[in-house]
Structure 1
């Protein structure tokens, strides 16, 4: 077993995720797309690329036809390489009813209301979405149409919408299985059928599913099966039985045992110095790791980084998540408020402000005002 300390693990992850900007200016070359880059309506994926790419500003992922946006891991919107997306779809069907219930976060009452096992519910919804979404449709229009053709137990009354419609998470999990992606930059969310349509995904491909876990371990390792399962959205029992790769090396991080793919060991043993300063968005791949205590050891600081609602961006400085940041737009000016959680040198603060200038350019604003708190 390989023994390392936390500093070495952090240095490895920073390098593995391309935060040294050593991948040039081509977003498709970034290793984070091996797993996918989560997005939200504030453009978090664009800022994640900005933190990793040369060039000013970095290209918007929605403008690159080599990338596709879809509900994928945990039903969250992620950008993926378009050339690999059809293979990824084959990793997303549930393995069995228990796996499906875990991915849906369904309780016994939900299963009783559905009147069918959870995996059958996902397949039923996927077939209905495939039949209904034959053209570009807003999420609301697709939801309304599919609710009319699915069994009553797969829909519910929504107080916010004041309407009965398909369970939201059920729709998110079923949509990629139906061969449907999302239109980048659209609000509300808009569904787009893939052309040509792939076959309806009913059963997972074990080899492709193991590659998803391998990518998680390569980007977020050393990590445990529990942590990988948390990212995928299933349980440890399901993941270890169906998706856990067999070409792994055991690693101890200050007594905490994890694993990493064998081909990642050379970088883990000799990572470059993590002397970079980057502004990361709330959904950045680095903070998607499930071992938050390794990323941010101080419990009080973790509460500042991961909030119940409205996470801030984070300041990565010299191997640590050393602060948070938020940006608001006032006309043509971008106001960025930075909060240090750890002591920051004058050099690190200056570098963070330089990164804010890049964010300003990416957001299309003309002037920047930075405030430290």
Structure 2
């Protein structure tokens, strides 16, 4: 689960649990916050981190370059064209953490810059200095054994205890493909590759087993064979109401027309700038929400229809849950 903007993952996880998360949920232990897919901060099960690092390791030079996104051209101009640079930066990250202990993001970048070849640190006009490519650092930090210190300001990294080192080779992605299709049934291998920030060949050359071709809303895709019966059964009435944040994983999938069938409502959920959150009542979008934080959380809901009495009570309860996640004691809800 991605933590963008910072703090979003706690709200997203809490929306899926019986009770809000405690403050120390990402402090190591069973769950760890790291830079992983697409170089973004994600919360993972700690035991899965070595496999995730291997699955995200480039499979060749073209793969390595494609993952650098907009910074690719800058590094190519500097003569950087191979995947060996991923290991060079990952090893530098590991060395910095071993020698200096916890470091801020700027300290990590500066120290890694001093350890890698000059070609990996092209001049950055916005910063006015030479430093290791931002995306390259993000993509190799986990392989170097770096984890984020939750809630740190400025952003701080520390070593993952007992880290085995950068992967020797790229690992399989089948488990990740199956997990993605479990959460986003009807998606395609291209969707999986986009989530991983990898070329499509990474998943098409090693497709997950046990999948079935399906068509959802006229769009071809895949589902796990064991999920097909549930898909065919159609929506069920789930008496649960939740507040999904603007960056909630459910809102990041491509099947927006299925989640919010009404086109006018979709325009309210996904805006060019500043998306609101979504009120989900069972499987139905009930409205959008925004908040202001004072002494209490002020939750303003714009409803797509008039909530039932039960839904109105659930809104009050969910607002208190969100307030707890944000460190507040109470919440006030208005519905328009």
Fold conserved between structures, TM > 0.5? yes
The 3 A distance-change label for structure 1 pair 186 and 337 is same
Q: Structure 2 matches for 1:1-373, cutoff 5 A? A: 37-40=1-4, 42-55=6-19, 57-60=20-23, 61-63=25-27, 65-106=29-70, 109-134=73-98, 135-206=101-172, 209-242=173-206, 244-270=207-233, 272-298=236-262, 301-307=265-271, 309-330=273-294, 332-340=295-303, 342-347=304-309, 348-373=311-336
Distance in 2 of aligned mates of 1:308 and 1:346: 31
Instruction: Measure how far apart 1:219 and its partner are.
Output: 0.7
**Structure 1 residues 247, 201: CA separation in 2 closer, same or farther (over 3 Å shift)?**
same
State the SS of the aligned residue for 2:333. Answer: strand
CA distance in 2 between counterparts of 1:63 and 1:264 reads 34
Aligned-residue offset at 1:79: 0.8
The list of structure 1 runs, each at least 4 consecutive aligned residues, that deviate by more than 6 angstroms after superposition, is none
Contact 1:65 1:82 in 2 (8 A): yes
- Once the 2 structures are TM-superposed, how far is the Cα of residue 64 of structure 1 from its aligned partner? 6.4
Question: Which has the higher mean CA deviation after the structures are superposed, 152-161 or 78-87?
Answer: 152-161
The question of whether the paired residues in 1 share the 8 Å contact of 2:74 and 2:122 is answered with: no
SS of the aligned residue for 1:133 comes to helix
In the superposition, the TM-score normalised over structure 1's length comes to 0.80
Q: 1:295 to 1:123 in 2, by over 3 A?
A: farther
User: Which is further off, 355-364 or 71-80?
Assistant: 355-364
Partner SS for 2:163: coil
TM-score (norm 2): 0.89
Q: Spell out, residue by residue over 1:195-250, the C-alpha distance to the aligned partner (whole angstroms, 9 max, x if none).
A: 112121242112xx1111110001111111121111111232332124x2132111
Q: For each residue in 1:117-170, what CA deviation from the matched residue of structure 2 results, as whole angstroms up to 9, or x when unmatched?
A: 252332222122122222211111000111112222322444544433222111
Structure 1's 236 and 255: CA in aligned 2 closer, same or farther, altered over 3 A? Answer: same
Distance 2:269 2:167 in 1: 36
Q: Is the 8 A contact 1:336 1:371 kept in 2?
A: yes
Give the Cα separation in 2 of the matches to 1:63 and 1:144: 25
Q: Count residues in correspondence.
A: 331
